[in-house]
Structure 1
Amino acid sequence: MKLYDAAAVLRSKNSGPFEVTVDVLFDDPEIYDKIKRSGVINAELVSRLYNIAPESITHIVFFDQALGFKITFARAISSGTFLDRDVYGAQQHAPLMDVEIDLGPDR
């Protein structure tokens, strides 16, 4: 299953002018728990998907209470400056959409 199909919410936004935050929320605690325990969401994956150095990733945090996780990383170009193609950071979740998630044989 693709992350896009498993998540109830998959969005991104600026976290100030120099960072982007991606939020992924689930409505099924079992799916959330399987993804969290799988370790598939990690700095290596984010670094590869976004073509950034692992040091550019400031947070990958799972929030059990919200059934979701947050990824924050440095923008290559600050928001609203020359050559910025996404001033609000609202399209930066797209690389995560097609990540394959193995939920086991019952899903």
Structure 2
Amino acid sequence: MPEHSNPSPVLGDYAIEIRSKNAGPFWVTMETFMKDSAGYAIAADESFLNEQVVADLYGVDAAQVQMFRIPALNVVKISFPRPVPQASLRDRDIHAGQHHVPLGALQVPDRHLPRGCV
């Protein structure tokens, strides 16, 4: 039987929920609800998750990405302009309900993992 190595952890592994939604017809908002302070420390670490990372994931201008770190709630909120206006001819996700998937699948490098997880 072939050996299977454990896959690299992703941001979603440390979250209760990661969701995306409309923030009006021209913006998308995503929220990461982390399980605990250790998960929040990963999501809030600007060397791991920052405006440029989000811009690269979603093909938007990093200068337009807004990030809000809320330690009391273990939440990181991210907003950026929709690639096309909501309900326009080219809109493929009218409710922005699937935009969170790439964020949840973002691999967490070993240096960002809590102690004992490597």
TM-score (normalised: structure 1): 0.89
Aligned residues of 1:43 and 1:54 also touching (Cα < 8 A): yes
Corresponding residue for residue 107 of structure 2: 100
Q: Equivalent pairs: percent with the same residue?
A: 28
Structure with higher RCO (Cα < 8 A, 6+ apart): 1
The one-letter code sitting in structure 2 at the alignment partner of 1:80 is: A
Tell me by how many angstroms 1:38 deviates. Answer: 5.5
Deviations for 1:36-60, whole angstroms, at most 9, x for unmatched residues?
A: 2463110110111111111231x11
| Aligned structure 1 segments of 4 or more residues deviating by more than 4 angstroms | none
Matched, 1:8 2:16: yes
Superposition RMSD on alpha carbons, in Å? 1.5
Tell me the distance in 1 between the aligned counterparts of 2:60 and 2:70. 24
Matched, 1:24 2:49: no
Tell me by how many angstroms 1:76 deviates. Answer: 1.4
**Whose radius of gyration is greater, 1 or 2?**
2
- Structure 2, gaps ≥5 residues long: 1-8
Tell me the distance in 1 between the aligned counterparts of 2:21 and 2:95. 6
User: Relative to structure 1, is the Cα distance of residues 67 and 22 closer, same or farther in structure 2, using a 3 angstrom cutoff?
Assistant: same
Tell me the distance in 2 between the aligned counterparts of 1:80 and 1:17. 8
Aligned residues of 1:35 and 1:103 also touching (Cα < 8 A): no
Tell me the distance in 1 between the aligned counterparts of 2:113 and 2:78. 21
The one-letter code sitting in structure 2 at the alignment partner of 1:64 is: P
User: Relative to structure 1, is the Cα distance of residues 66 and 81 closer, same or farther in structure 2, using a 3 angstrom cutoff?
Assistant: same
Tell me the distance in 1 between the aligned counterparts of 2:43 and 2:18. 14
Aligned residues of 2:19 and 2:100 also touching (Cα < 8 A): yes
TM-score (normalised: structure 2): 0.82
Tell me the distance in 1 between the aligned counterparts of 2:24 and 2:67. 17
- Structure 1, gaps ≥5 residues long: none
